[in-house]
Structure 1
Amino acid sequence: MPTQLSVNLNKIALIRNSRGRDYPSVLHFARLALENGAAGVTIHPRPDQRHARNADALALAALVRDFPGTELNIEGYPSRDFLDVVLQARPAQCTLVPDEPGQLTSDHGWNIRERLDFLKPVVAELNAAGIRVSLFVDPDVEQIALAPQTGAARVELYTEEYAVRHGEGSHAQVLDAYVAAGKAAHQVGLGLNAGHDLNLQNLGDFLQAVPGVDEVSIGHALVVESLESGFANVVRQYVAICHAAR
């Protein structure tokens, strides 16, 4: 089965929130993603609701039902408030990340060895609701080997180091760690996801090197690339309207 794309909509939500009304609409862009082949959509509501909001989770859960075979993935730190939203929305997947409340973006994976007792009841609660759980992890074989003890079904490899190195042309130096991490996940029966700073330039090389990636979650780069691909065309359309009005 090919790797599935889940489109992270947080940046769409961030732009929406800056103007105080529903434009751009997160639901509209979710529909566009699903209509154009994405296998799912992702949001990561944070405590300050600065981009994706809790209400988005419920609205997207309803939208995904209109596209059979697609999935909603909700990411976040498993606070009680977050878990209550996830349990209400009932996404196909919940990706647990070890973010601090005010963190700008995710920048490390779980230390499963230290947080095992914390994670086990959280994962059990989500599993009992029929929600698949993925743990955000560094490409660390020892940590991944412990992940099944939490009850999680998948891990998501944190790919920022690979992406940065790819931009510098030195990604070959770190790929072995990701390949080993992927193999370790499969050896203990875990599904494998990946995400963070993957883009059109580096995604193909990653998937060629790391076999068996079930899903990639991409948002920030996808939105930037969409601006780059479409910005000039939209400017030309505006100029044409202005000139036609003379």
Structure 2
Amino acid sequence: MRLQGKVAVATGVCGGIGLSIVRKLVDEGARVIAVDLSQESLDKLKADYGDEVTTTVADVTKYGDVEAMIQKAIDQYGQIDIVINNAGIAFPKPLLEHDPDKDFDGVTSVNQKGVYHGILAAGKAMKRQGRGGVIINTSSVYGTMASELTFTYNVSKAAVDMMTKCAALEYGPHKIRVCAVAPGRVDTPMLHQYKDLGLWDHIKREQMRDEFTKPEEIADVIAFLASEQANCINGTTIYASDGFENFKFPLKPGS
């Protein structure tokens, strides 16, 4: 178990990838503060675990909430070693139909500002602790790719990539690593919005393996980055996309 004795905080734990992150962290030996907005959803998650998981409600758009979730880990378990800024939202919509308050400010507050809050609060706590740590941000292949319907989502994930680089540079002297994971198309409720748009079969045909990435596969990558096996990986975004960003339109029979 690569994370035995470690304490982790993870946000956005009640979604597809988030649930898998919690499961993987516990399987690897970590104790986890699991964070989301819904107490009801957190109660369901907590029922599956014992003392290894403590749940707490927090709004990542509020810095005070983020500071409190980090402090809860320290109060509960005496330390903080890993912070995973996973909370994110997306509402696919053509740019010309945007409501700026919802479709830009709303998405940016969670995907960009929320990650900033996590980086800042975690960095301060880890510096005070004096034992280093790892911060992992959930980015996306769309941080470097243009796509239709996801203007603000793409912009916010590009910001996550840059925040990861800049934070790693400043946190390096304190032995704090900062990395990001960029999933491609993962079979989660967020992706299922494309069914309503009639695009599900189209986007599935673009995958190299003819299937969407599983949330568990992303959690595997995150657990590796959180472990000492990844000590030489810092300030970079790891793509976990089945090659989607490089092979968007593979040539195959019947395509």
- Bin for the TM-score computed over the shorter chain: 0.3 to 0.5
Please say which structure displays the higher CA radius of gyration: 1
| Structure 2 length-normalised TM | 0.36
- Say which structure, 1 or 2, has more relative contact order (CA 8 Å, 6+ apart): 2
| Structure 1 length-normalised TM | 0.37
